[in-house]
Amino acid sequence: MKKRILGRTGLSVSEIAFGGVEIGMPYGLGAHEMPDEASAIQLLQKALESGINFFDTARHYGESERLMGEAFQGIRDQVVLATKCVHFKDEQGNIPAYSELKYIVEKSLEESLKNLKTDYVDLFMVHYADTDILQNEDVVRVFSEIRRKGSVKNIGVSVYKVEETAKAIQSGIWDAVQLPFNLMDQSHGDCFEDASEKGVGIIVRSVLMRGMLTERKFKMNAALEEVEKYLEAYRTIAETHFRNFPEYATKFALKYPQVSSVLVGIDKEEYLQASICNLEGNGLSDEIFVRSKNMQFPDPSFLNLAEWDRKGWL
């Protein structure tokens, strides 16, 4: 397993990061059978043995933090742990004033450290940093203070929109950004060069578009006819040049030198092994890379799977 440096953090992270949401709670499209505790712990340890050293979790991921704490007890120095703070906006969508915000964030971190059985986390992130959060001075103050205290080595944000990625990078505050990026939605790629210049680490998630960029075919509503055409065009390339669709999708994201790691949701050993196998062999050729970039879906804002699910399109 190759490793890359995560921006200015200096952390050496595996090209594949273990996404911990699916071992901690039901997640994703369709039925989801979670592993039992012993199986989850064994899976985490197997991932480490296989060369993955970067593990991503969050306070909102159910039992995920606690399971990682159990799995890595006594070998903490071998792993890079990233976790996320609880959501701190109130029901009206307002950000608490400094004192309350500080309490919420510090309490969240305290619980994370307890669950993870460690006295520090390598990367502590805002779970979803929208524009309001990114421009809030109290948020910046609280997270910067926590970083200075030492129990958090680096701070970052998880975002959804391109304008959020751009604002986080330009602020000079955040050490890393976790963002969605895949063959269909390449919009955040416009920010990669700026991130590299400013030393901001890039962690990519949704590289398989919640299973869309795999051999699994979904029964799609007529409203998604155009999406299906693009998926099939990419699938044709995958079948022609790669062992499988996920290999193609993963190698596309890692073709970007600014991308430090690709998050993959893993809840079974077969998925772990498949994720590792997807890195074997040659990387993406320049010809297929350029071709793939030119094929991206023209309206990334339409690629909202949660919204599709709510509308009954999947």
Encode pLDDT of 93-133 as tens digits. 999 999 999 999 999 999 999 999 999 999 999 999 999 99
Cα-trace Rg, the chain: 19
pLDDT bracket for residue 248 (50, 70, 90): very high
pLDDT bracket for residue 31 (50, 70, 90): very low
Average of per-residue pLDDT across 1-25: 95
What pLDDT was estimated at residue 153?
98
Alpha-carbon span 188 to 106, nearest angstrom: 30
CA dist 249 → 2, 9, 54, 173, 287 (Å) = 17, 26, 20, 30, 15
Average of per-residue pLDDT across 306-313: 85
Query: For 167-189, what is each residue's pLDDT tens digit?
Result: 999 999 999 999 999 999 999 99
In this predicted structure, the answer to whether residue 301 has a pLDDT above a threshold of 50 is: yes
Average pLDDT, the chain: 95
What pLDDT was estimated at residue 33?
78
What domains does the chain contain, in order, with CATH numbers? 3-310 (3.20.20.100)
Q: What percent of the chain has pLDDT over 90?
A: 89
pLDDT bracket for residue 304 (50, 70, 90): confident
* 61 assigned to active site: yes
In this predicted structure, the answer to whether residue 224 has a pLDDT above a threshold of 50 is: yes
Average of per-residue pLDDT across 50-59: 97
Instruction: Write out the two tokens for 296.
Output: 């991206």
The residue among 195, 184, 193 whose CA lies nearest residue 157 is: 195
What pLDDT was estimated at residue 305?
83
What pLDDT was estimated at residue 218?
77
pLDDT bracket for residue 313 (50, 70, 90): confident
Q: What percent of the chain has pLDDT over 70?
A: 98
Average of per-residue pLDDT across 18-37: 80
- Of the listed ranges 31-40, 206-215, 233-242, the least confidently predicted one is 31-40
What pLDDT was estimated at residue 314?
75
What pLDDT was estimated at residue 29?
56
Q: Which of 27, 61, 128, 248 is catalytic?
A: 61
Global pTM reads 0.95
In this predicted structure, the answer to whether residue 26 has a pLDDT above a threshold of 80 is: no
What pLDDT was estimated at residue 34?
84
pLDDT bracket for residue 220 (50, 70, 90): confident
